[in-house]
Amino acid sequence: MKRRVRKTLKTKATKVPNCMEKRELLNAKDVSPEVLTRYGDLCFEHGKLNDAFEFYAAARDSEGLTKIKRVAIDEGLAYLLFWLGTRTDQPVSVEEWKETADRAQELGKITLADLAHQKAGLASPDADSDPALPPANT
């Protein structure tokens, strides 16, 4: 297996890597940023945003990371914004957190909306009332 993965490292990226190939690629010292970016692009094209993020981050590809940021905001994926802000040099503004929180709320991603609200320094709109719980007896 290792021989096959090593060969993949030295060739053009042509397919989305499996988990073992991904691990090998991200941990290898002889992989160029261009190859990592191409793997990031392949993952992005196939909707594998987490994998795309990891390849773009390893390649230090700001263009790829910007694409991830835009999708994260549009899809309310607060965890991806969190990764961008903590694992790369891509800052996340309060406005971007607010936009992500609003979008996550619209899409029914309550946990992600709560995370984005916290990161924006805001209280969640449903902080006092959880629709899953019956109203409190007063």
Q: Do residues 68 and 84 touch, judged by C-beta distance below 8 A?
A: yes
Please give the pLDDT value at position 3. Answer: 52
C-alpha span between 123 and 126 (Å, rounded)? 8
- DSSP-derived letter for residue 62 is H
Output the CA–CA distances (angstroms, integers) from residue 132 to 113, 122, 128, 135, in the order listed.
16, 22, 12, 9
Please give the pLDDT value at position 73. Answer: 97
| Domain extent listing, the chain | 1-60, 69-123
Q: What is the pTM of this model?
A: 0.80
Please give the pLDDT value at position 136. Answer: 38
Rounded to 10 deg, the angle between the 19-27 and 49-59 helix axes is: 20
Mean pLDDT by 10 residues, the chain (138 residues): 54 83 91 94 96 97 97 97 94 96 96 94 61 41
62: left (phi over 0), alpha (psi -120 to 50) or beta: alpha
